[in-house]
């Protein structure tokens, strides 16, 4: 078990490169494995979750190698060319990898079993499997439609038109990935736009993907049975990881930091938009494009924040950033209300309950409903001094470690080892900017 204690920081300064985007990293490996030829990936997140995806694609027949210069090389098998693995595919802690891979496997006429750690085995998969059954796949699962799951892919996958019942880029992506091996057009209608890394990368690899407006949402149509052609991919820095040092710099007096080449995809930028409304000093510099993904250097500097109401329609563009936004709200002046958060209850942990309970233990007044969180701040640091069980949730762990940097008393975060799934060396990078975090390895009781 890993415990980390975060102490009050004086000021943060300097620049840092946060790890590569996890969503793009998973997809780059999967699409490279289904392409023809050699794909080279630069900036891949080498966290536990993505390494599980790399291992899974090897087990399915692709050649996946890390080169000496840190570049990852993938020789793919072509669309529909993956083979049955010899053993169980271990997806670790990654819901994204598991759900996307369900779509990949659903379009291949073979059987494969995937599992994961205790957290992943507790997370629901039925929302992904439901449309994939309509495409011809079959599933045998643990109780409640959870992992481990054995997928029997369709011999003749059927194209479908599917309207998402909830805003989920993972469900959308799974359907589109299964549609790669189906003849004709597979269409997903999303009532609320969700992150579009799958659409962008599929186009980058040569697939035909058309996107049009559908009411307030979007209609995404994939033409099946393309020949994906190997492409080089430069993975931007992960905005969800950058969120933690960025918010820390906003909160620790006297701080100013720069984060290099952060992905600023408009469908992932809800946190930056919200922080700007709170009065945050954030600038984007040297904006450019990296293989279809917008990137920029982000400068963040300390200053007072004011409370805001976050509209529910913004939730899909910042769903992974609500834990750290709640920390910012704890130090803002006034009452911040966040709504439309039901999806947080089926993440690596029940993040809504974890943030409400943890903030309360740190002396912050909060109110929680089934899909909302209200945080009362007065513009001053909270008492802190709590012990927080991260419940093996990397984003809960990092959020409270940032809170410890501005609390009057240190905050100890236990079961923080899964930080490595998305942000290896988080404590080291934060300490390099001026944080005071102590990491301790302990034997499990």
In this structure, what token pair is assigned to residue 212?
């049009």
- 289, pLDDT greater than 70: yes
- 388, pLDDT greater than 90: yes
- 102, pLDDT greater than 90: yes
371 is catalytic: no
Question: What phi-psi label fits residue 221: left (phi over 0), alpha (psi between -120 and 50 degrees) or beta?
Answer: beta
Please provide the average confidence, as pLDDT, over all residues in the chain: 95
**Percentage, residues of the chain above pLDDT 90:** 90
Which of 320, 333, 389, 393 does the annotation list as catalytic? 320
**Across residues 207-229, what is the average pLDDT?**
96
Q: C-alpha distances in angstroms, 83 versus 62, 168, 271? A: 9, 28, 40
**Across residues 401-415, what is the average pLDDT?**
97
The residues pairing with 115 across neighbouring beta strands, listed in sequence order, are 90
- What pLDDT does residue 442 have? 67
**Across residues 88-98, what is the average pLDDT?**
93
**Percentage, residues of the chain above pLDDT 70:** 99
Q: How is 190-259 classified by DSSP, letter by letter?
A: ESS----HHHHHHHHTT--EEEEEETTEEEEEEESS---B---EEPPBPHHHHHHHHHHHHHSTT-EEEE
- What pLDDT does residue 440 have? 86
Closest CA to 23 of 310, 317, 344: 317
**Across residues 232-249, what is the average pLDDT?**
97
- 240, pLDDT greater than 60: yes
**Across residues 368-375, what is the average pLDDT?**
95
Domain 2-20+237-441 top-level CATH class: alpha beta
For the entire predicted model, the pTM comes to 0.90
**Across residues 39-67, what is the average pLDDT?**
96
Domain ranges of the chain: 2-20+237-441, 22-223
Q: Which is more confident, 347 or 229?
A: 229
- 292, pLDDT greater than 90: no
Pairwise CA distance, residues 127 & 166, whole Å: 9
Closest CA to 416 of 404, 430, 427: 427
CATH of the domain spanning 22-223 = 3.65.10.10
Q: Which residue has the tokens 């379009």?
A: 107
- 23, pLDDT greater than 80: yes
- What pLDDT does residue 123 have? 87
Helix axes 239-251, 394-404, angle to 10 degrees: 20
Radius of gyration for the alpha carbons in the chain, expressed in angstroms and rounded: 21
- What pLDDT does residue 445 have? 44
Q: Are both 2-20+237-441 and 22-223 of the same fold?
A: yes
**Across residues 342-368, what is the average pLDDT?**
92
């Amino acid at each position: 078990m890993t415990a980390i204690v975060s102490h009050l920081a004086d000021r943060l300064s300097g620049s840092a490169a946060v790890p590569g985007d996890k969503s793009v990293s998973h997809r780059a490996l999967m699409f490279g494995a289904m392409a023809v030829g050699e794909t080279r990936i630069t900036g891949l997140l080498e966290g536990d979750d993505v390494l599980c995806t790399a291992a899974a694609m090897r087990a399915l027949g692709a050649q996946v190698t890390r080169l000496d210069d840190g570049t990852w090389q993938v020789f793919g098998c072509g669309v529909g060319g993956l083979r049955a693995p010899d053993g169980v595919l271990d997806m670790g802690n990654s819901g994204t990898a598991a759900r996307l891979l369900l779509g990949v496997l659903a379009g291949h006429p073979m059987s494969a079993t995937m599992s994961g750690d205790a957290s992943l085995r507790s997370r629901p998969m039925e929302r992904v499997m439901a449309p994939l059954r309509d495409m011809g796949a079959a599933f045998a699962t643990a109780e409640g439609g959870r992992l481990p799951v054995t997928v029997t892919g369709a011999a003749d996958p059927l194209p479908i038109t599917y309207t998402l019942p909830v805003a989920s880029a993972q469900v959308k992506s799974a359907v589109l990935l299964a549609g790669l091996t189906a003849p004709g057009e597979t269409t997903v209608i999303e009532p609320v736009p969700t992150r579009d890394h799958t659409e962008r990368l599929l186009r980058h690899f040569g697939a035909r993907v058309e996107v049009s407006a559908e009411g307030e949402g979007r209609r995404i149509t994939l033409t099946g049975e393309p020949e994906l052609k190997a492409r080089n991919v430069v993975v931007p820095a992960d905005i969800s990881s950058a969120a933690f040092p960025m918010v820390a710099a906003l909160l620790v007096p006297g701080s100013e930091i720069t984060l290099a080449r952060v992905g600023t995809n408009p469908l992932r930028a809800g946190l930056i938009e919200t922080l700007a409304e709170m009065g945050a000093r954030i600038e984007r510099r040297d904006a450019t494009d990296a293989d279809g993904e917008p990137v920029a250097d982000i400068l963040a500097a300390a200053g007072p924040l004011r409370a805001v109401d976050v509209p529910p329609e913004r939730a899909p563009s910042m769903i992974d950033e609500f834990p750290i936004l709640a920390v910012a709200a704890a130090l803002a002046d006034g009452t911040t209300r966040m709504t439309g958060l039901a999806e947080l209850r089926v993440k690596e942990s029940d993040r809504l309950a974890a943030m409400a309970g943890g903030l309360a233990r740190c002396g912050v007044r909060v109110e929680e409903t089934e899909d909302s969180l209200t945080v009362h701040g007065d513009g001053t640091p909270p008492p802190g001094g709590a012990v927080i069980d991260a419940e093996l949730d990397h984003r809960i762990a990092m959020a409270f470690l940032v809170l410890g940097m501005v609390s009057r008393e240190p905050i100890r975060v236990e079961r923080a080892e899964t930080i490595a799934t998305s942000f290896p060396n988080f404590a080291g990078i934060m300490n390099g900017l001026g944080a005071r975090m102590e990491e301790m390895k302990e034997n499990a009781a």
